[in-house]
Amino acid sequence: MTQLIIRQISLFISISLLSAILSGCGFQLRGNYLLAPELQTIEFSSVDKFGELTRLVRQHLKINDVKLVKASDKAIPQMRILQDNLDRRTLSVFPNGQVAEYELIYTVRYQVLIPGKDVQNFNFELNRDYQDDPDIALAKSRELSLMLREMRQEAATKILRDMASIEL
């Protein structure tokens, strides 16, 4: 009985010590960005109001305690997603002429408007290779949709990283 209590106490002390060391060195979980205080309240808009990228960016902003407001009379920062576009380019073909491999190109353009500053425009591309196989079309269709979801998630994360690096 005494040994059990000693083990529990030593386990508690070990976990507490590990937590103190991790928090003391500045460790933070991924996805948590330190945004400037001026960017803690923004007006957010997007060309595609109900698109997946818009939803993911809203979700990331809320996780980072950013207050999203509708159009306001006050001079507050604005973020606008201007475009998110998916293109594909043929990389290789089968001997029978069917496409064997594509390059998926996901392009995102957005801007951040901060009162009293110049408009800051951002754009980037994410690229992935996708191998198509007509014999397993259903599985490849599912793989493609998962890949697109992953690319949009990465794009939303990049937008937040870019916002954290904005100098005011």
For the segment 10-48, what is each residue's pLDDT rounded down to a tens digit? 888 888 888 778 777 665 555 566 677 788 899 999 998
Euclidean distance between CA atoms 164 and 34, whole angstroms: 6
Domain boundaries, the chain: 1-30, 33-164
Q: What percentage of the chain has pLDDT greater than the value 70? A: 91
Q: What contacts 156, CB < 8 A, 6 or more positions away?
A: 53, 56, 57, 59, 60
Q: Has domain 33-164 been given CATH number 3.60.15.10?
A: no
Provide the pLDDT for residue 157. Answer: 94
Provide the pLDDT for residue 158. Answer: 95
Q: Please check whether residue 43 is in contact with residue 75, taking contact to mean a CB–CB distance below 8 angstroms.
A: no
Query: Long-range contacts made by residues 57-63, C-beta under 8 angstroms, separation at least 24?
Result: 57/81, 57/156, 57/159, 57/160, 59/156, 60/31, 60/156, 60/157, 60/159, 60/160, 61/160, 63/31, 63/32
For the segment 83-97, what is each residue's pLDDT rounded down to a tens digit? 999 999 988 988 888
Q: What pTM value is reported for the model?
A: 0.74
CA–centroid distance for 162 within its chain: 10
In single-letter form, the type of residue at position 89 comes to R
